[in-house]
Structure 1
Amino acid sequence: MRRLIPTGDAARPVAFTEAPRPVPGPGEALVKVEAFAPNRGETFLLERPEPGFLPGKDLAGLVVRPAADGSGPEAGARVVGHPPYGGWAEYAAAPTHSLAVLPDGVDDVRAAALPLAGITALRLLRAAGSLTGLRVLLTGASGGVGHYVTELAAAAGAGVTAVTATPERGARLLEFGAARVAHDVAKADGPFDVVLESTGGPHLAAALARTRPGGLLVWFGQASRTPAALDFFDLLGGPERVMIQHFHYAGAPYGADLGTLVRLVAEGRLHPEIGRTDDWSDSARVLVDLRERRIRGKAVLTTGDAR
């Protein structure tokens, strides 16, 4: 089979190679990959790839061999999956607890755009607690996670202010239910009950300053790739008793959350924002554009058999 592997070349970060089909473990299904979605964080890992690194965590496809232990979907089922690695290939072995069966109304391209960003959004909002009637500030809102958080939080009754770099990207977030759009976190009209911060660098301190006394800031990313610094004495002059909470999406099995996401898509209550769809022969170019923020929302690559 064909598989994409890292090259270490920033201009062309992946190339095709021939590899044997993966051999699934007892609790894994063999999936014929029909579409996959790279994440911007994966593009950073490609800059200095570890030996043996096989990228690919978000995929949709067809189960061609069910798990030997009897768990998970049967052969022939269309699925979305979030395996730990190896999804940028014609076939991938995926733990059955990280798979969900796709309903007929959800195509492979939209399904592949769901896993990491969608699971992150669901779990981030659970960590933030009930948002009904609260003012929420979301930084870095124009990426895949930001779109899902905006739509889900607005549907839950939150007043979302989305921080995005350009008016064009902000207009789409308003369509997803954002109450307001700001292009600079320092100019967002606070204070906010909950701040969801994903950019790091100087933006963390600016976002913290817009949190109400007793409010919550959940720090879930560092898209700027710049370390954040907080001055204790500035904190003393800012809002009192703010809680800062670190968040990471990984943990419990992903299958149930994937099932929730595909159900919301099928019901028309969640809309994956896909900024680029290409054949996987163009993977290297798409990965560079994703790394350099030239793609709004998600990028999805198809192997030629996507439905």
Structure 2
Amino acid sequence: MRALLPDPERIVRIDEVPEPEPEPQQAVVAVEAFSVNRGETFQLDGSLDRRWPGWRPGKDVAGTVVRAAADGSGPAVGARVVGHPPAYGWAERVAVPTADLAVLPDGVDAVTAASLPLAGITALRLLRAAGPVAGRRLLLTGASGGVGHYVTELAAASGAAVTAVTATPERGARLRELGAAEVVTGVEEATGPFDLVLESVGGDSLPAALARLRPDGLLLWFGQASRQPVTLDFFGFFGGPNQARIQHFDYTHSDRGYGEDLETLLRLVAGGRLHPEIGSVHDWSRTAATVTALRGRRIRGNAVLTVRRA
């Protein structure tokens, strides 16, 4: 079968690879569409050291089950599904643990479904970690990416007053439609104090956002898109966010499979209560160009590629 392989000169290339050999609790999915995430772009350029020998990218996939799990778990052959494997999803077929699959309801297509896993699961779990948000002021940085759109709509629907930080007003227009109370183009424009900060940029953004947190507030740090390290001043807390908490967030740290959260996201999409922002859809032959566009922040929301089988 064909798959996308890392290529130092071309970012990725389509080449032949062996068919997946599923473990008993895995189903084989014929991939119709997959989504590209920022973390995968970091892995491809070597700046995020989470690769292993034989690694291939691909964590967000949607398609059809062509081989059911040998242990009897999960969906049957022919089921339309979305899944979140640990890797290898940028391919014609991929083995996915059945605990990380969800069956698509009628009316949800593969392109829409492929945009959900990493970004949607991260948003759901971020808001669970934040606790009840109704009536709370929430500051969200890096808001125009896939996670930011989901967080904005879910938090606003739950009663939070969301201030979204985006690079440009144009990138923030959609966030207002999804319920953001305010959209600003820099943390310094945000008027605090905030009860909760969700921070994904790092560098100078985190301390600036932290300074706008109320005393005893919570900052959840879930990314570092700027790739710049953070410097904090201990004395800067006094007279500002005194006794504030900074909590590192990793969406993979959970005792539940991804399938449960995918079912929740699909239910919300099918019910018209969650609206994925898909900024780019192309044939998978355009994957390298899509990765480049994501690195240059030229795509708003999620980027999806469709798989053309030989």
Q: Give 2:291's aligned residue.
A: 287
Q: Give 1:6's aligned residue.
A: 6
Mapped to 2, the partners of 1:40 and 1:216 lie a distance apart of 25
Q: Give 1:274's aligned residue.
A: 278
Mapped to 1, the partners of 2:162 and 2:308 lie a distance apart of 38
Q: Give 1:32's aligned residue.
A: 30
Partner AA of 2:32 in structure 1:
E
Mapped to 2, the partners of 1:159 and 1:236 lie a distance apart of 26
Mapped to 2, the partners of 1:26 and 1:66 lie a distance apart of 9
Q: Give 2:263's aligned residue.
A: 259
Per-residue CA shift, 1:90-117, capped at 9, x if unaligned?
Answer: 0000000000000111000000000000
2:306 pairs with 297, 302, 307, which one? Answer: 302
Mapped to 2, the partners of 1:287 and 1:21 lie a distance apart of 25
Q: Secondary structure at the match of 1:194?
A: strand
Moved more, 64-73 or 249-258: 249-258
Displacement after TM superposition at 1:228 (Å): 0.5
Mapped to 1, the partners of 2:156 and 2:308 lie a distance apart of 36
Q: Give 2:15's aligned residue.
A: 17
Q: Give 1:208's aligned residue.
A: 210
Displacement after TM superposition at 1:50 (Å): 5.0
Moved more, 232-241 or 188-197: 232-241
Per-residue CA shift, 1:168-226, capped at 9, x if unaligned?
Answer: 11111000000001111012011101111110111111000100111111111101100
Q: When the two structures are superposed, what TM-score results if normalisation uses the length of structure 2?
A: 0.96
Mapped to 2, the partners of 1:65 and 1:46 lie a distance apart of 29
The 5-angstrom pairing of residues 148-163 of structure 1 reads 148-163=150-165
Mapped to 2, the partners of 1:286 and 1:187 lie a distance apart of 31
Q: Secondary structure at the match of 1:119?
A: helix
Segments of 5+ residues of structure 2 without an aligned counterpart are none
Residues 214, 240 of structure 2: 8 Å contact kept: no
Displacement after TM superposition at 1:20 (Å): 1.9
Partner AA of 1:146 in structure 2:
G
The 5-angstrom pairing of residues 104-123 of structure 1 reads 104-123=106-125
Mapped to 2, the partners of 1:158 and 1:101 lie a distance apart of 30
Task: Give the number of aligned pairs.
Answer: 303
Residues 237, 243 of structure 2: 8 Å contact kept: no
Q: Give 1:92's aligned residue.
A: 94
Q: When the two structures are superposed, what TM-score results if normalisation uses the length of structure 1?
A: 0.97
Runs of 4 or more consecutive aligned structure 1 residues displaced over 3 Å after TM superposition? none
Displacement after TM superposition at 1:304 (Å): 3.3
Partner AA of 2:227 in structure 1:
R
Percent of paired sites with the same residue: 67
**Alpha-carbon RMSD:** 1.0
Q: Secondary structure at the match of 1:109?
A: helix
Q: Secondary structure at the match of 1:105?
A: coil
Q: Give 2:200's aligned residue.
A: 198
Mapped to 1, the partners of 2:45 and 2:215 lie a distance apart of 41
The 5-angstrom pairing of residues 40-59 of structure 1 reads 40-48=38-46, 51-59=53-61
Per-residue CA shift, 1:105-141, capped at 9, x if unaligned?
Answer: 1000000000000000000000000000111000000
Q: Give 1:124's aligned residue.
A: 126
Q: Secondary structure at the match of 2:41?
A: helix
Partner AA of 1:63 in structure 2:
V
Q: Secondary structure at the match of 1:289?
A: helix
The 5-angstrom pairing of residues 160-239 of structure 1 reads 160-239=162-241
